Amino acid sequence: MKILVLSGPNLNLLGTREPHIYGTTTLADIERDVAAVGAELGVTVACKQSNHEGVLIDLIQAAHGDADGIIINAGAYSHTSLAIRDALAAVAIPYAEVHLSNIFAREPERRHTTLAAGARAVLCGFGAQGYTLALRGLVAALRA
């Protein structure tokens, strides 16, 4: 089983970007933890990050026929990108949406996600652990 983990814009700045909201864990730390949980679960994990919407769409499309599941934190694109939503729908790969902060307790413009309706699950507010929780849950769902 292969899981693609996608992180969107500004997540490369984790650890230093607004640590009072996003914590001090870096994206490299998250990717290391996700890889370790993947190994524990016996699945292959590929982690990618981009600040560019088109690159994220290309990665989603390239996952068709290659990945069994996707974990995506599309960052601010979660609230605006019909194109990412459409790419996820087009490849029909089960996915879980992750947000480090509780988007529903933040500014009004962050309280809606265009990706949630098609997601197997949405995890928000668990910080960096949201990624590993999503991985465990998605793998369990795919194996069921």
Question: Which residues form the catalytic set?
Answer: 22, 99
3-state DSSP helix/strand/coil percent for the chain, to nearest 5?
50, 20, 35
Query: Exposed/middle/buried for 65, CB within 10 Å: 0-12, 13-18, 19+?
Result: exposed
**37: nearest Cα among 142, 133, 143:** 133
- What's the CA gap between 43 and 61, in Å, rounded? 20
**32: nearest Cα among 5, 2, 11, 57:** 5
